[in-house]
Amino acid sequence: MEDFFTNNSVCVSVEAPAENLVQEIAYDGQEVFQLPLTLSENLTKQAHKIDWIKREDDDNDDDTHSATVTTEKKVEEDSKKADFQTSSWPWDSVRNKLRSALTEVCVLADVLVIAKDKRYMVLDPVQQEQPDQRQLAQLFSKKRGLTAAANILLHGAERLKISQSDTARAKSNQDFHLELLRLRQSWTLKKIGNSILGDLSYKSAGSRFYQTGIFEVTKSEDPDQELSLETTSENQSKQSMIKVTIPPELGGTAYIQVTIQKDQDILCTTNVNLLHTSLIHSDPSRDANPWTSKLEAAQNVLFCKELFSQLAREAVQLQAAIPHMVVGNQITASLFPGIQLSIHFQSSYSAGVDKRQLVSNNSTSLVAKVDHNYILEHSLHQLLRQVHLNNVGQPVPHPSSAPLGPTKRRRLAGPHAYDRDELLLMTKNESILEQIIRQGQHVVLRLRTMFVIDSIAREIRDPLIISHWNVLNSPTLSCVKIIIMTHGYDTLQRTALVVHVGEKTLKCVCRDGRVLQMSYEPQELRDLILCQISQHQINAVQSLARFLGWHVASSSAHLGLGPVEPLGNASSCILSSPSGNRILSVRCGPQAAQPQVYLSTYPRHDTEKNKVLTDIRWEQLNTRYEEVRLEKIEGRNFLSRMELLMASLTCRLPMNWE
């Protein structure tokens, strides 16, 4: 070491730089310096900075290493100096380190020498960093793999979650399509773009109403509500997946009310509404498909609107003697003097109220209130539907080359040279209003006829009046058969007459073949029936007399004697007993409650025997007629009393006669 030190006489001064570190700079720019280290502190600090493990080359020939070598040498010198200056023990670790460093440096120098000679050993570059890089890459790849796996798992979980919710949705979807199919079976549907539109108008059936009945079909989007509904009410059938949106003007309910009123009294009311209570409650499919009732209600509204607008148009166009009035939602037409037909369009648009309930309430209350006349209601339907049918069902041409359109009668018009009147007749088309007025008139006339017959039958117990109404009749013609007979004597005499009730007139066919035309005034029919009753009584008495062996001396249906009847004529007959000594005279007038019976007998009891006229034949002169008080005679009715009377009068001849 000494040699080494002396040989290399380069002095390296080791000292701290003149400038100390700036500790802080004051605000006035003055720098406060750190206090310089003491020499020993400095040395210790420097010595501790040295990494003694670092390589040290022995060789001097390597220039590149010379700088480091020199620094190391300086350090060694320093250590020597420090060794000299301080006790050896504090530098012990330094010394140990130096020693180990020196050993290492020597080994390194040996290795270098061997490597340099390339005689024993060849140094190959060894990729030292590779395993480290691979680890990093592995880490990355593992991380990536894990994230991918996590993604897959998450994705799968997500899909499971979706599919779970989807099964419910798919089920509902399937329901939607099924319901759509069911809807399609009864309603016209069309797909335009993304929306499904339907048509509930009667256009395909021939309606030419301007208003369209287009509705939209969408999927109902309230599963939560549905669920809650399902849970809350078991009874409630499953909520429909189809949501039907109808135009607002077709919402609610509507019906047409036909009223026949005499001044203020309602004679007859009909209520035209497609949705009857019976229909609503009985049809099971209506409950299954909630949209059915909604659509049908809308269709009903449309139908009623069309019907009313058609009627209103006709009411304005028609030239009636008493003009029809159209005021707001009401059409008024007069049927007979004092009797009016009013057609009222009732419409209720209820947004929140349950429609079905509303309808049923309405109809039940109406049914309860007035007697429901189905005939006019049905007729109104039928009439409009007939118009529709005529619009659609054009006649088919024959032969096939003939043009479409004209009816058969119009085709025949040319070849048959129809004249103007016939052609005009052909163009005449009866409107719905006219037809319904005619039907209304018929209804009124029929009610009146019924009333007249029933009231007569109630008033007059003897003879009996039986009426048979034909069940089958046309809307403007019905027929009643009236039979007048006496109880217990129905095989003896029956008087039958048939009354055809038309629109404005009555036609009565009597038994003898007479045909009487009567107006709509009920009094006329009443008079006729009363006349028929009186004639019946006389005829019946005659039959009875013949049956009992009496003789009909004379009979007259139109008696010119006695008090004048206010209407018609009294009829009478004169009957004589088999022996001829009793004469009965029966008189029956239409207004009389009971027939009058007069009796005349011979020989006279009141006078003495004539002295002059002794011949017996003069005794046959009848006495004056005396009225028989029939009500004192036993018997249920006139004929039975007469029978009793005649039987009692049929006695043997007086003795003196023989």
Partner 1 sequence: MAGNQNPISAIDMLTSALRSNIIPNQEYLLQGSVIDSSAEVLHNRLRGLCDAAETGPETFHDHEMCFSLKASSPGGTPQQQQSFLLRVRRALDHPEYPWQLRYLGQPELGEKNQPTVLRSCIDIACTPNVVEFLSELGCRIEFEYVLKGYLFRKGRMKVTMSKIFRMGQAKSPDSLEAMTGSYLVELSLLAPSGQDAVADEIKVFAEQLRPLVHLEKIDYRRLQSYS
Instruction: Identify which of residues 232 and 401 has a Cβ nearer to partner 1 in the complex.
Output: 401
- Sole binder of partner 1 in the list 338, 393, 513, 566 (CB under 8 A): 393
Nearest to 362 by CA among 290, 257, 246: 257
- Which of 32, 39, 412, 653 touches partner 1 (CB under 8 A)? 412
d(CA 306, CA 219): 30
> Which of residues 338 and 393 has its CB atom nearest to partner 1 in the complex?
393
- Under DSSP, the state recorded for 18 is S
390 binds partner 1, rule: CB under 8 A: no
Q: Which stretch binds partner 1 (CB under 8 A): 15-23, 169-177, 392-400, 430-438?
A: 392-400
Of 448, 548, 552, the closest CA to residue 504 belongs to: 448
As measured in angstroms, the least distance from the Cβ of 192 to partner 1 is 18
* Minimum gap (Å) between residue 413 Cβ and partner 1: 8
Among 351, 404, 564, 593, which residue sits at the site for partner 1 (rule: CB under 8 A)? Answer: 404
Residue 394 is a binding residue for partner 1 (CB under 8 A): yes
**3 state SS of 254:** strand
Under the criterion CB under 8 A, does residue 185 sit at the interface with partner 1?
Answer: no
Contact of 202 with 216, CB cutoff 8 Å: no
**DSSP, residue by residue, 444-511:** HHHHHHHHHHHHHHHH--SSEEEEEE-S--BTTBEEEEEEEE-TT-TTT-EEEEEEEE-SS-EEEE-T
Q: Near partner 1 by CB under 8 A, which window of 279-287, 307-315, 414-422, 513-521?
A: 414-422
Map tokens 């099971």 to a residue.
284
* Residue (86 or 394) nearer to partner 1, CB: 394
Which C-beta is closer to partner 1: that of 338 or that of 399? 399
According to CB under 8 A, which one of 125, 399, 513, 566 is a site residue for partner 1? 399
The residue range among 389-397, 451-459, 471-479, 573-581 that interacts with partner 1, by the rule CB under 8 A, is 389-397
Closer by beta carbon to partner 1, 407 or else 610: 407
Question: What is the identity of the amino acid at 657?
Answer: W
Distance spanning both ends of the chain, measured CA to CA? 213
Kindly report the backbone phi and psi dihedral angles of residue 8, in degrees, each rounded to the nearest multiple of 5, phi listed first.
-95, 100
Token duo for residue 122: 């060849």
Q: Is residue 403 a contact point for partner 1 (CB under 8 A)? A: yes
Q: Does 125 bind partner 1 (CB under 8 A)?
A: no
Q: What's the longest Cα–Cα distance across the chain? A: 227
Q: Which of 398, 458, 617, 632 binds partner 1 (CB under 8 A)?
A: 398
Count of alpha carbons within 13 angstroms of residue 644, beta-carbon side: 14
What is the C-alpha to C-alpha distance for residues 308 and 314, in angstroms, rounded to an integer? 10
Please give the helix or strand (H or E) that residue 383 lies within, else none.
helix 374-392
Q: Report the SS3 class of residue 240.
A: coil
| Residue 205 CB, nearest approach to partner 1 (Å) | 10
Residue from 192, 368, 396, 472 in contact with partner 1 (CB under 8 A): 396
Nearer to partner 1, 1 or 396 (CB): 396
**Of 22, 107, 168, 402, which one interacts with partner 1 (CB under 8 A)?**
402
- What is the Rg, in whole angstroms, of the alpha carbon atoms belonging to the chain? 64
Q: Is 421 in the site for partner 1 (CB under 8 A)?
A: no
Q: Is 353 in the site for partner 1 (CB under 8 A)?
A: no
Instruction: Choose the binding region for partner 1 from 75-83, 181-189, 410-418, 636-644 (rule: CB under 8 A).
Output: 410-418
**Site for partner 1 contains 414 (CB under 8 A):** yes
Of the candidate spans 393-401, 489-497, 518-526, 542-550, the one that interacts with partner 1 by CB under 8 A turns out to be 393-401
**401 in contact with partner 1 (CB under 8 A):** yes
Check whether the bond before 399 is cis (ω within 30° of 0): yes
Q: Which stretch binds partner 1 (CB under 8 A): 247-255, 336-344, 394-402, 619-627?
A: 394-402
Alpha helices in 8-54 (DSSP H): 39-49
**What's the min distance (Å) between Cβ of 398 and partner 1?**
4
DSSP assignment letter at 88: T
Q: Which of 36, 223, 397, 578 contacts partner 1 by CB under 8 A?
A: 397
Q: Residue 624 and residue 141: Cα distance in Å, rounded?
A: 149
- How many Cα atoms within 13 Å fall on the side-chain side of residue 228? 3
CA 413/CA 176 separation, integer angstroms: 57
Residue 128 as a binder of partner 1 (CB under 8 A): the answer is no
415 binds partner 1 (CB under 8 A): yes
Binding site for partner 1 (CB under 8 A): 392-394, 396-404, 408, 411-412, 414-416
